[in-house]
Each structure stands twice: as C-alpha cells, then as structure tokens.
Amino acid sequence: MTTTQKPPDMEVVNRAREVTQKAIAPRASRYDAEVLSPLESWNDLWQAGLLAMTVPQEHGGLELDALTYVMALEEIAQGCTNTAMTLHMHSTVQRFISHLATQEQQARFYPEVVQHGKLFGSWAAERGTSFTRHPFVTVGIHREGDGYRVSGQKTFCTMAGAASYYMVWCTAEGSEDIAHSMTLALVPADAPGMTVVSEWNTLGMRGTVSPAVQFDDCLISEGMVLGKPGEPLGVGVVEFFSLGYASIFLGAAWGALQQATNYCIEARYLPDPQPICHDPATQRDVAQIAIHLEAARLMLHHCASQWDDADVVTRGLLASKAKYLSTEAATMATQEALRLVGGRAASKSFPIERAFRDVHTCTLMPPSVNTMLANIGKGQFGLLREMYTAKEA
C-alpha cells in the first residue's frame, strides 16, 4: 500500500498543548472528584478551534490528518483524560457525519460545532451485548410519519446530560439482519422520551459522566438519521475509535511518568543528600517506563501516518496494533509510576493516582486485548479481510 507521509501540523499540536497546560489540566482533579462533565474545558477547546478537528475545511473545520489528530489528542490527555475522551467521542461523530450525512445535514450540523461550540456524544453499548464480538444492538428505530421513534436502553452514555446531540446506534425494529439494518440516529438533548436511568460512580473516567439512558418512543425528525441502514459499519470510521483511544491512553501515561520524574528530581531520602534520581535503581525504573511508552507512541504514529490512505480492512488492523500496544504500555507505566513514587502517590493530591485510575478504566473500552490480538493474528495469516467480508455477506 502506498502511503502519503504527510508531516503533522505542529501548530495545531502546540495549540493543544498550550490550552491544556494553561486551562484544561488545572481543572482535571475537580471534574474527577465531583463527577462533572468538563464544560469549561470544552469551551476552551472550542475557542481554540479544537472542537472542529475532524470537521471538513469547507465547513470551517480543521479536517486534520490522523497523525496530527492523535498527537493533539495525546497532549490534551496528558492534562485531563476525561476531556480528551469526550473530545474524541465528539470528533468521531463528526467523521461519521462527513461520511454518511447529506450536504443539507452537514450544513445543519457542522455550524453547531464550529460557530456554537456544541458537543456530540456517541452511544453504542448495551447491557448483555458485545459490539466488537458481533455487531448487535437492541435499541430499535422505526418510521412514524415524517420522523422516527427510538426505543430501548443504552449503557455507558458518554456526556449524558451535557452534550447537545447524541449519536445512537439503532437497528430497524423487527429486522433479523442486525448488521445490515444498523442505523445511526442523532438524538437532540431535549428530545422527549430520553431519560437517564443510572448513576455514574466509577473507579476512573469519572468526568465522562456515562450513565445508562432509556429511550421510550423518543421522537426525532427525518433529518436526524445519518446514511442508509447498514452503512455505518463499512465506512472505516468505527475503527477510528480505537486509534484515538490509543493516544488517550498514552497521553495519560506520559503525564504520570512526567509527574514521577519531577518527584524523583526533587525528593531526597535522608541521610542521602542527593535527589533520588541519582539512584541507579530509580533510573532503571524510569527508563523501563519511558522506553515502553516510546515504543507504543512510535507504533501509534506509524499506524496514524498510514490511516488516511488505508481501506477499511487495513484500518481495522492498524487500530488493533495501536490500541493493543498502547493499552499494555499505559497500564504498565501508570502502575510503575505509582510504585516508583510510593505511598505518597496514593494521595488524591498526586495526579499519578488519577492517571492510574483513568487508564485502568478507559483501557477496558472495546475491543478487548484478546480481540485485538486475534485481529492482529488474522492479519498476519491474511484472514482479516475474510472476516470483514463475512460481516458484509
């Protein structure tokens, strides 16, 4: 496959770093402690033009290449994993709009982001189903007059009660062919019949505020459905979720390593007059964390640099490679950073503690490690394309 080795837009990456350090990172602990959606940070991202990272340029967005996108997202995740995750969910919805929406729909939805700073959530998960093992949803959608009715329950509904629109994965009621009837509906936040039915009180990723939501004959207009039934799984955007997840994992882990490094530079254990960074054992520990994160980052950037020219099957393989290695590296890095600092790191005043909880929570997002390894193995044997063909059959 021929790829275009386009250099990343460092102006955007630096912009993401600047707004994160100045405004987003200082709020992260409050969002976590109080289980709050990062409203102020979303506004900062909008003011910096970063809510429109995946909006086409013709609609006023940045239309970033995949490499620049993951690098910018990693910068934000170093300061606040929750802000980065919600931004990624929103940005992936914008990609679905670019692939599936009509020109009229794009002209309607993109100004909501670019001009008004509105957020779009993405809701797919359901209790008792595994979306990555087999595309299966029970939330139904059926035609009624000039609109549609949505019914059923979703779990892990990120940004519930805070975003302006929610992209809901549905299937035509009564259809036995789930994959080919899969439909994306954009449900406005004020739509009647949509109710939060659980609390959100988790180990980590608390600021994503992702409870369960019930739809009871929720009525939406005809223009709120994206594309045709069956199209969402075949446009190469589902795989983008995993690519962005990888950058978020790494960003949080790099942030933890930086905190541990700073601690080791400043801390002294009496009677030794030297900071503990002079201890060879400490140096080895930091080196082990850094080299694993660097290797995962190289894999992520390699996969992202090939992304825009890749077909759907290749994107599936790239996403699995990036997410698998980032998952392994980030969980190891945050655990070792916690151990390196010691008991002090368990305090809520240390960002390492939050990074540890966030990483060990968000890396549970599908696809699982076993699924990623299976996909990578299929790719090695030349069987991955057969898997995608089977889904389309």
pLDDT digits (tens, 9 = 90+) for 263-273: 999 999 999 99
The pLDDT score that the predictor gives to residue 164 is 98
Q: Do domains 10-118 and 123-230 have the same CATH topology?
A: no
Cβ contacts of 336 within 8 Å, gap of 6 or more: 285, 288, 289
| Across 110-124, 198-212, 337-351, least confident range | 337-351
CATH architecture of 123-230: Beta Barrel (2.40)
Highest CATH level, class, for 236-392: mainly alpha
CA atoms within 13 A on the CB side of 303: 28
The pLDDT score that the predictor gives to residue 11 is 98
The pLDDT score that the predictor gives to residue 119 is 98
Cβ contacts of 66 within 8 Å, gap of 6 or more: 240, 243, 304, 305, 307, 308
Q: Determine if the pTM surpasses 0.85.
A: yes
Q: Check pLDDT > 80 for residue 308.
A: yes
pLDDT digits (tens, 9 = 90+) for 68-114: 999 999 999 999 999 999 999 999 999 999 999 999 999 999 999 99
Domain residues of the chain, as ranges? Answer: 10-118, 123-230, 236-392
Whether 48 contacts 225, CB under 8 Å? no
Highest CATH level, class, for 10-118: mainly alpha
pLDDT digits (tens, 9 = 90+) for 137-174: 899 999 999 999 999 999 999 999 999 999 999 998 76
Q: Check pLDDT > 60 for residue 2.
A: no
